[in-house]
Amino acid sequence: MRIVFTAFALVCAGLLIVAGTNSAQEKEKKDTVLKGKITCAKCDLGTSDDCATVIVVKDKDAKKDITYYFDKKGHGKYHDDICTAAKKGTVTGTVKDDGKKKVITVKKLDYDK
């Protein structure tokens, strides 16, 4: 009887761990919508040694700007549009921290008209 109870407890613990991992992954995969100035970190902001496509978002709570770097694919696709002239727009994608930088994997970009 004790072996059955122990096996049952281990199975329940394993299910809880798997459920916790799945919910953490679900949270990570949620899309984020960012509205702000899409520009070049080198040419416009002067914060990088290399060209990098970024969106600068005003954070109302912290009362400062937050810069999100585009992922490599998004940078390649959109950088020519904004390198010499920043544009206002909306970026949708998933955000992750990469060291001290926030990086957005761009799924959709719309420039303001």
List pLDDT tens digits, range 43-85: 999 999 999 999 999 988 768 899 999 999 999 999 999 988 9
Alpha-helix residue ranges (DSSP H) falling in the chain: 2-29, 72-82
Strand bridging mode 64-70 / 32-40 = unpaired
Per the prediction, the chain carries an average pLDDT of 84
Which is higher by pLDDT, 26 or 106?
106
The Cα–Cα gap between 9 and 14 comes to 9
pLDDT at residue 75, as a whole number: 95
State mean pLDDT over 95-112.
Answer: 94
CA dist., res. 65 & res. 102, Å (int): 12
51: three-class secondary structure by DSSP: coil
pLDDT at residue 7, rounded to an integer: 53
